[in-house]
Copies of this chain bind each other. A is one copy, B any other.
Amino acid sequence: MGTRVTIKDVAKKAGVSISTVSRVLNKSSYVKKSTFERVEAVISELGYSPNHIARSLSKGTTGIIGAILPDISNPFFPALARGIGDAAVARGYTLILCNTDGYASHEKSSVRALLEKQVDGIVFVTGSSRAVELVREASKACPVAVIDREVQGVSCDMVTVDNYRGSFEMTRHLLNTGHRHIAYITGPMHLSTSRERLRGLRDCLAAAGIERQPLVFNGDFKYDTGYSFAREIIRLGLDVTCVYCANDLMALGAMRSFLDSGLKVPEQMAVAGFDDIAMSSLIRPALTTIAQPAYQMGVIAAEFLLERLDNGKELAPRSKILEPVLVIRDST
């Protein structure tokens, strides 16, 4: 814990005013070359580094953005967080990270904490059903970019993946490979992603003239849930040739379950997921899934936000829908 060197110390030692020191710090207006160099010399001599907090207070911006997401230890989010972080750092911003586990209460306290810290903007991956009001509250204080999970009725930048289309294509693939009796394990239904994926499945089935409805289980994106529903499917001897899950983690669980029960995947039971987390390409049989550009989503969302901060705030809300891609591997 050293002594804090302030702009005043530099000014005194260089024999100039603090205004001048501030000018060389910010290169904000011309300073005579010799003065400039003298000040710079003193700065490095004293090891001075500006107090960003003080600067923030007087400028009204902090150079910090916040990211609110459900759980960094869920394998889908690290890439996303990395994308946000990289884009932020590239523009000289710094990132505060908040985990909510999808609880409205944690989302609320995260929003509050970030706003108190006067972050310049927030990237928000919603997890609770109270998303709208929280996004709205946050938007009153700073720009917000909603990412991954769509939030209706708010006006802010939004970056998502075309979940409907991804799911539609996956379903078509499933139909192409001969499956007609499909079980589907959903994600939490208050999330747009979950709803869209289910809708994609249904519409594709309908479009193909399949009248048999898929067997739908209400899941929650967790590995264990995939595992147990799969076990149920076996136990009940359900007439199903394929289990398609709303995310990879559940698909991995389901696959494990089938394998543990001695079923051959994909011969006796096909399994498909959604996300394309790292694990999915590494296990065997490798999982057929819909790849989401998570890193890219993070980058784009952060860039939307930062452009809005740098240029005027009065840009119209932008939204970007990224195209997911079907990755056919060995599980289907």
* Docked-complex contact B73 and A86, CB < 8 angstroms: no
**Most chain-B Cβ atoms within 10 A of its Cβ — which of A51, A73, A89?**
A73
Complex Cα–Cα for A295 and B99 (A): 14
In Å, the complex CA distance between A245 and B96 comes to 34
Contact A284 B259 (CB under 8 A): yes
Within the complex, the shortest CB–CB distance from A292 to chain B, in Å, comes to 14
Binds B, one of A54-62, A213-221, A299-307, A318-326: A54-62
The closest CB in chain B to the CB of A255 belongs to B282
Q: Tell me if A116 is interfacial: C-beta within 8 Å of chain B.
A: yes
Verify B117–A52 contact, CB threshold 8 A.
yes
Q: Which of B78, B115, B283 contacts A282 (CB 8 A)?
A: B283
* Chain A, 280-297, CB within 8 A of any chain B CB: 282-284, 295
Q: Are A95 and B94 in contact (CB under 8 A)?
A: no
User: What separation, in Å, do the CA atoms of A48 and B89 have in the docked complex?
Assistant: 31
Seed contacts A95-B97, A278-B279; 16 additional CB < 8 Å A-B pairs: A1-B142, A49-B112, A53-B56, A53-B62, A63-B117, A64-B96, A64-B117, A72-B72, A72-B81, A72-B85, A73-B82, A75-B78, A81-B97, A85-B98, A94-B113, A279-B279
